[in-house]
Copies of this chain bind each other. A is one copy, B any other.
Amino acid sequence: MTQLEIARAGKISPEMTAVAEFERLEAEEIRAGIAEGVICIPRNIHHDIPRPRGIGKGLSTKVNANIGTSGDFPNVEDELVKLRVAIEAGADAVMDLSTGGDLAAVRRTVIDNCTVPLGTVPIYETAVRAADGGSVVDMSEDDLFRVIERNATDGVDFLTVHCGITREAIARLQECGRVADVVSRGGAFLVCWMLANGKENPLYSRFDDLLDICRAHDVTLSLGDGFRPGCLADATDRAQIQELIILGELVDRARKAGVQSMVEGPGHVPMNQVITNIQIQKTLCKGAPFYVLGPLVTDVAPGYDHITSAIGGAIAAAAGVDFLCYVTPSEHLGLPGPDEVREGVIAARIAAHAGDIAKGVKGAMEWDREMSVARKKLDWEKQLELCIDPIKFKKFRSERATSAEEVCSMCGKYCAMKVVDEYLHKG
């Protein structure tokens, strides 16, 4: 039985109990949220996850880190380093987006080393195999479903599948026109295949087959947004919202089939459209957990897209987004290395936490209060213990050391925290 089926049967699984403990909530709240389809616990029955995580309504905002080989950097060992860095930095989930090397072998190696929920995008392996043999448009539907099945039996916890790219949606995309067309890699593969072969998207036409596979292994569907805007000018357009409507219909079907699902969202979005995007997803998809990439609030800052994403992600989290996909400083420029993975995870965690404070997630504000009490006391040991990234904390403290241990080198003996104490609290 899937977590959704268990929840519907009124039972509480060990995973629900673990999630409730982590969130400091009652297990019954988690069960009710899963039964309603507004919370999911991505966990394949074949994958051992020591600390399962819940994603959805009323829970703390979670963070995903993408890793994966590319044609220019196909070495799986490099990806295992990034996997370790991502988990150490606090990623709640990881996606293997490999497109270089032996993809099935890379996936299995990553799963074996992944202690958090793992997601993949099966169309990548299907398309890369087809391209190696000739062209992406030579993919067969059976190839795609074989890869999906293998991902499920290998233990992948959630699958990104671009089921909402229908012929109808493509026609709307062509009609409305865009600056950046399709920027989702999986979306682009499907669009090419559909247009070249004159066929409907098999992830849509054979959605029931997909549900059968997911139910058998309790794989969570992550309904991908193949038409997410790739620049601010394309945001919240008819193509994007058309796909979202279709994804909403598929959420209904997944719920009926007992399959857990979440919905992916944009992308590049101007700040003044971010909240609108969250609200429209929540209505169209009946409160399904929402998983966003960014949103990036400007297009002009390659090298800093962890920051453009942290801005959009924080606003999105505050407005009800449940799951943030990190963006690294390398985005738009190259494949990230371990340093960029760390920066990306921390930036996304900052956004998630800032959003959690704003939306009143249980316990969120207490962390900041504890930190501030330690800061006021000039208790550097305690600050190190509480800060989001002890590695960075130690680096800055040691690089710019002060002659006075109790303060820092910015203000030295003129530290406001310190000077005001003597007078403000006496008498």
A residues whose Cβ falls under 8 Å from a Cβ of B = 70-73, 99-100, 124, 127-128, 131, 136-137, 173-174, 179-185, 187-189, 191-192, 195-196, 230-234, 268, 270-272, 297-304, 306-308, 310-311, 314-315, 318, 329-337, 346-347, 350-351, 353-355, 357-359, 365, 367-369, 371-373, 375-376, 383, 386-389, 392-393, 395-397, 399-403, 408-417, 419-424
Contacts and interface: CB of A to CB of B under 8 A. Distances in A.
Contact of A330 (B173, B351, B357, B400): B400
Contacts of A181: 376, 417, 420-421, 424
B396 A330 contact: yes
Contacts of A408: 332-335
Given A230-B372, A299-B375, A423-B196, A350 B184 contact: no
Main secondary structure of the interface of A (DSSP, over half): helix
Contact of A414 (B73, B99, B230, B368): B99
Given A315-B315, A354-B298, A413-B71, A136 B419 contact: yes
B308 A409 contact: no
Contacts of A365: 232-233, 270
A213 to B, nearest CB: 24
Given A131-B413, A185-B411, 12 more contacts: A99-B411, A181-B417, A195-B423, A196-B423, A232-B368, A232-B372, A268-B372, A270-B357, A297-B357, A297-B358, A303-B388, A329-B396
